[in-house]
Structure 1
Amino acid sequence: MEQPPVTPRSALHTRPKSQGCFLVGKSLKPVVAPIYKKNGIFYAEIFLNWSHIVGERYSRLCRPVRITGDKPNATLYVGASRAVAAEMFYSVPTLLERIHHYFGFQILESMRFVNDFSSPHMASTFSPKKEEAAPQNSEEADASWKGDDITYPPLREALMRFQSYMRKIK
């Protein structure tokens, strides 16, 4: 009885050589396929082409966050600050019309706004400000303010009187 030829151990544990780069689309297909079957490519296109669909003005003020429901009864949640959302509430029919016009049929039924500080226009508004170091003692605080930054003379005089009064109390 003959035994099969012995293969070296190193040959058993080698991986096949890579054939170069692979397409990302092939690996994403199993993940994305259920979403496309349910909603089609339309929902992804809203996120990808938001500035083209709604226009530059609206795209600077808000951004799409998520979509719930099935077409044509879906709801688009748009992220914006409270002030912008209050202003844009009156633009909802216009935005929905632009989205429907882009796709050629009704894809969404309603639009809601959510408070979202990562919207494009909020990036510069809410950047943290560097605070100046507070004076260590009261003498430094008194010496640091001269009243030069107050342009209204009666207010400057009143604040200077108040400052001298506070010095007397200490």
Structure 2
Amino acid sequence: MMGRKSIDEDIESRLPLIISMIKDNFTDKEIAEKLGVSLSTWRRKKSQNNKIKAIIDEICDERNSEVEQALFKCCTGYHYYEDVVTKVKEQVLSEDGETILVKEDVKISKVKKYKGPDVVAQKYWLNNRKKAAWKDDPNKTEIDKKALKLKEKQIESGGW
């Protein structure tokens, strides 16, 4: 007689489902419910199981990379295509020149557009990539350090 699968074996056998749920932004609670385990069990297994940790890290890295690429495009500007809907009217004339029929149709055409660079995205990118050169107030750190030293001196001298 075969014994029941352990929770680890059961969870590992359902890795494709887990990957799909993580990619679809399921919450831990939703994943636990789908797997038929308690939320605390899922969280424990997620933090202890190396396969699950590796999968979650890989998915997070992929998403972060996608967001970085999109942010970079916003910083530099990009071309894209947009569907534009246009009404087209067609008039059919009779032999004596009067309009007999007005036929309306909808035409969808792709139009190439340009999204210019976004200054806010550029600022965000540079504030995070080159903090020393692009922070809002490059002197703030020095001023804060000096203020802290003055406060420490006041405390030591009992003037606080």
Give TM class, smaller chain. Answer: under 0.3
Q: Which has the higher helix share?
A: 2
With the length of structure 1 as denominator, give the TM-score of the two structures: 0.23
With the length of structure 2 as denominator, give the TM-score of the two structures: 0.24
